[in-house]
Amino acid sequence: MSEPEKRAALPQRRTPHTTGERVAITAERAAVKAADTLPFFGFFVEWRERRYARREAAALVASYHRIQQAEPALRGEQLYERVIMQRLECSAARARNVIRGADASFAQWPEERDVNFRDVVNYVVTHELMAAHDKRLGTRVDMMELFKREVPKEL
């Protein structure tokens, strides 16, 4: 995958719509900076990451079920595409790029398999967290383990 395709596969930042969302983002960025300089404050950042990931995973699973109920013929990647289009408010092409990114990140290594909804949720939520904290190279929480509990395997 070329560099422009990799960038296109990343979920775009959602623009905060309310003052409350903007304040929450500012507070979270301040907490991350504090955690980087005050090690004992790191537990707060982990708690926020877990809380955010659980909330967003639940929202994506609920969206999955709503779309599946409305259009029972949709399955697999077509259904994932619709969920992503709704979540990111994007085009079908952009949603397919996100699915390809999830496939490349989680379904190709250590063993090749089909991409599943858990992979897609992990990819979208992790990239949203990373986009919110520009200078961090990763998350403090093991997202794979968290999503194993939050997103049913059969989706």
The whole-angstrom separation of Cα 31 and Cα 23 is: 12
Rounded CA-CA distance 9/97 in Å is 4
The whole-angstrom separation of Cα 38 and Cα 11 is: 30
pTM of the model: 0.74
Average pLDDT over residues 58-83: 95
Task: List the chain domain ranges.
Answer: 17-150
The whole-number average pLDDT for the span 117-134 is 87
Q: Which residue has the higher pLDDT, 129 or 152?
A: 152
Reported for 29-33, long-range contacts at CB under 8 A and 24+ positions apart, including other chains, are 29/132, 29/133, 32/133, 32/136
Asked whether the beta carbons of 67 and 87 are under 8 A apart, the reply is no
Whose CA is closest to 118, among 90, 83, 94, 89?
83
